[in-house]
């Protein structure tokens, strides 16, 4: 399973670090993603990272402000969110890439980040 944490209320311009703890599978072999859902909106892909961080990608909307990372020894995925604005308010989900396709076959329940003064 995947369990996200770290969300909360953040002021505009502020920062927050999200965590996703994995269990029940070989985390070190999995490509991982962050996907977000703003209030009343659909799913938006945010960032991807390869199993040993050999590749990292970001959506245009977050590039230069968000940083994805992972610690395979701790079965954990992270997302550092900097220079936050109200448009970043969303539930952030971590999701695993399937080994048999590139679909996202395991998701966490998400953590809410609210950017407001």
Partner 1 sequence: ILMTQSPATLSVSPGDRATLSCRASQSINTNLAWYQHKPGQAPRLLIHGASTRATGIPDRFSGSGSGTDFTLTISSLQSEDFAVYYCQHYINWPPYSFGQGTKLEIK
- The contact set with partner 1 (CB under 8 A) reads 2, 33, 35, 42-45, 48, 57, 59, 93, 95, 98, 100-110
Q: How far is the CB of 110 from partner 1 (least distance, A)?
A: 7
Q: How far is the CB of 75 from partner 1 (least distance, A)?
A: 17
The CA-atom distances, in angstroms, between 115 and each of 69, 77, 79, 111 are: 22, 22, 16, 13
Q: How far is the CB of 36 from partner 1 (least distance, A)?
A: 11
Comparing CB distances to partner 1, the nearer of 10 and 49 is: 49
Comparing CB distances to partner 1, the nearer of 86 and 102 is: 102
CA 86/CA 90 separation, integer angstroms: 9
CA 109 to centroid of chain Cα atoms: 12
Give the length of the chain.
117
């Amino acid at each position: 399973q995947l369990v996200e944490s770290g969300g909360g209320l953040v002021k505009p311009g502020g920062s927050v670090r999200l965590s996703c703890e994995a269990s029940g599978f070989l985390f070190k072999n999995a490509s991982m993603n962050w996907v977000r859902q703003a209030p009343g909106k659909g799913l938006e892909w945010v960032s991807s990272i390869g199993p040993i961080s050999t590749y990292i990608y970001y959506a245009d909307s977050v590039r230069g402000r968000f940083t994805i990372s992972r610690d395979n020894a701790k079965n954990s995925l992270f997302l550092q969110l900097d220079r936050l604005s109200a448009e970043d308010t969303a539930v952030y989900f971590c999701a695993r890439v399937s080994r048999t396709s590139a679909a996202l076959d395991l998701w966490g329940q998400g953590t809410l980040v609210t950017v407001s003064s």
